[in-house]
Amino acid sequence: MELTLAQLAGQLGVELRGDGEVRVSAAAPLQSAHTGTLSFLANPRYRRHLKTTQASAVVLAEQDAGDSPVPVLVSDNPYACYARAVALLYPQETVSAGIHASAMVHPEANIDATARVDAGAVVAAGVQIGPAVQIGPGCVVGEGVVIGQDSRLVASVTVLAGAQIGRRVILHPGVVIGSDGFGMALDKGAWLKVPQLGSVQIGDDVDIGANTTVDRGALQDTVIEAGVKIDNQVQVGHNVFIGAHTAIAGCVGISGSTRIGRHCTLAGGVGLVGHVEIADNVHITAMSMVTRSIHEAGTYSAGTPLTKNTLWRRNAVRIKQLDTLARRVSDLENKL
């Protein structure tokens, strides 16, 4: 959609510096923008591209506004402002409601007249699908699942019996909600399956990335609070609790019964053992292993730095000897 900068600034509620009659109809990165596009600067890594941008306008923080060769939308949060501007420039197409002829919907499912169920989707008995929900092609929705207004199962999503999905939730392709947790008792050398009787509760405004899995609880429910954002290929074990507005990047693994606070961030590849508690506002850097509860807000890390393989081999041997080395240093100190 084409908008003037004056219209954009008005709708976004931000200050415009420059010609309000200039028109934009698309978004582009600073370095490849051209006439008619809106750009933004949020990551300082890309600041060098500002001076030479061909964009028709840029969303900037106050301190960068003076460096722009083109009109500026001034925001104290340029990235969020840009996100809103893009939502205005690219309004989501309204999809038509209705159930595709090839969808397999159980007669006892309750589907709002404004919802859409796409080709090849399977919807079981007792399902409740709210207004404007989209069930994409190839999705499977199990018995008694409840899906709130405006939520979207993009395609090839599997939600098993009893899960409760809030409003405005997005489940990307390959997501599995409500699979059995990994509960087993060792019995004379063999593993005995422990029936998984809980379910999954997903709050409003949760996004769950492609091929992420969220297990049902063993006795009580696995809970993901409102506003949580989860990237692709994340594993959420049974009875995990994830507090509101926590963001979890790709390939994270969260073991059973672990409790994560609100407003936390887990970077890519982080792993948490089971039965630990993470306080609110905790940030864990990439590929760290969390083996204990964290009671204090802050940023935590583990892992070893990348080096050339030849150096790594020499250092890795020393890691095995580290306790001995520390004792040798103590001996030296005692001798001196």
Q: Which residues are catalytic?
A: 238
Q: Which residue has the tokens 């990237």?
A: 231
Smallest distance, a second copy to C-beta of residue 145, A: 12
Cα angle at 46 between 43 and 48, to 5 degrees?
Answer: 135
Interacting positions 5-24 with a second copy (CB under 8 A): none
CA dist., res. 320 & res. 312, Å (int) = 13
Stretch (H or E) spanning 248: strand 247-248
Query: Which of 15-23, 50-58, 60-68, 184-192 is the region at the interface with a second copy (rule: CB under 8 A)?
Result: 184-192
Query: Which parts of 105-144 interact with a second copy (CB under 8 A)?
Result: 118-120, 122, 124, 136-138, 140, 142
Longest Cα–Cα distance of the chain, Å, equals 86
201 to 230: interface string for a second copy, x by CB under 8 A: ----x-x-xxx-x-x---xx------x-x-
Asked whether the beta carbons of 20 and 43 are under 8 A apart, the reply is no
Query: Taking the complex as a whole, how short is the minimal distance between the CB of residue 117 and a second copy, in angstroms?
Result: 12
How many positions of this chain bind a second copy (CB under 8 A)? 128
The smaller minimum CB distance to a second copy, of residues 113 and 306, is found at 306
Residues within window 257-316 making contact with a second copy, judged by CB under 8 A? 263, 267-269, 271, 273, 275, 284-292, 294, 298-309, 311-316
Residues 6+ apart with CB under 8 A from 126: 106, 108, 109, 110, 143, 144
The C-alpha atoms of residue 9 and residue 72 are separated, in whole angstroms, by 10
Please tell me whether residue 322 binds a second copy under the rule CB under 8 A. Answer: yes
**Residues 41-60, interacting with a second copy (CB under 8 A):** 42-43, 45
Instruction: Show contacts with a second copy in window 59-98 (CB under 8 A).
Output: 77, 79-80, 82-84, 86-87, 90
Handedness of CA 160, 162, 168, 169 (dihedral sign): negative
